[in-house]
Chains A and B, each alone.
Chain A
Amino acid sequence: GQQVMQIPQYQHVQEGEDFTTYCNSSTTLSNIQWYKQRPGGHPVFLIQLVKSGEVKKQKRLTFQFGEAKKNSSLHITATQTTDVGTYFCAGAGGGNKLTFGTGTQLKVEL
């Protein structure tokens, strides 16, 4: 079945440093979604990418969808303590199942 891997599993950064998490699927995806889960909370939708090579920005967050629609990345510029949490990608291969990545836990230190 479809597998979605994320790296790294954990990342500690100093506030102000950049952060990137990468998502790789074993199969071509119809779209990719990104979610953020704060400690003790539930996943919250950030964005969806649909087109090959698509790039979207939300303030300090930049999301990319690979040309082959099998990988994606989330880059945060100048991290802040409010960025702490676990970031998940999620993809569907055209069916009705949604497969989440393993997540990247981000910790930001002052």
Chain B
Amino acid sequence: EAQVTQNPRYLITVTGKKLTVTCSQNMNHEYMSWYRQDPGLGLRQIYYSMNVEVTDKGDVPEGYKVSRKEKRNFPLILESPSPNQTSLYFCASSLLGTDYEQYFGPGTRLTVT
């Protein structure tokens, strides 16, 4: 089954404790991205990647890092999480970029206390 998976689905952590949210897709997609969803703000793009070893900032990259060492994986790293990063995070992938349908993962609900 074609899908985007994220882990963990739920995470409660404390300020400053490094964490990684994994994202994996099995559709051989070139383009992958991370979004955060907050009430009233919609989905905001954090980082995106056009291909292996090619990443770029989205609209809200501060406080986040990403890497794309393999085509299928695109982890999101919060090196020193803060309470304002409490949010719902979605990973998405598409065949070649923004001109193609985006496939979303199930989401990761992150709470930073």
Contact residues on B (Cβ < 8 Å of other chain), bracket: 20 to 34
* Interface size, chain A (Cβ < 8 Å): 25
Q: Quote the shortest CB–CB distance from B86 to chain A (angstroms).
A: 18
Given the known A-B contacts A42-B90, A43-B43, A102-B40, are A96 and B56 also in contact in the complex, defined by CB atoms under 8 Å?
Answer: yes
A44 at the interface (CB under 8 A from B): yes
Q: A42 contacts B40, CB within 8 Å?
A: no
Select the residue from B58, B92, B99 with max chain A CB neighbours within 10 A: B99
Partner of A96, one of B42, B98, B103, B105: B98
Q: Which residues of A contact B74 (CB under 8 A)?
A: none
Partner of A102, one of B41, B56, B59, B107: B41
Q: Contact flags (1/0) for B22-40 with A, using CB distance below 8 Å?
A: 0000000001010100001
Select the residue from A9, A88, A92, A96 with max chain B CB neighbours within 10 A: A96
Q: Which residues of B contact A99 (CB under 8 A)?
A: 45, 59
Q: A96 contacts B50, CB within 8 Å?
A: yes
Q: A97 contacts B102, CB within 8 Å?
A: no
A27 at the interface (CB under 8 A from B): no
Q: B50 contacts A6, CB within 8 Å?
A: no
Q: How far is the CA of A9 from the CA of B98 in the complex (A)?
A: 24
Residue of A with least CB distance to B98? A92
Q: Quote the shortest CB–CB distance from A15 to chain B (angstroms).
A: 26
Q: Which of B73-102 contact A (CB under 8 A)?
A: 90, 92, 97-99, 101-102
Partner of A100, one of B43, B50, B106: B43
B68 at the interface (CB under 8 A from A): no
A101 at the interface (CB under 8 A from B): yes
Given the known A-B contacts A98-B45, A102-B40, are A45 and B103 also in contact in the complex, defined by CB atoms under 8 Å?
Answer: yes
Interface residues of B (CB under 8 A from A): 31, 33, 35, 40-45, 48, 50, 56, 58-59, 90, 92, 97-99, 101-107
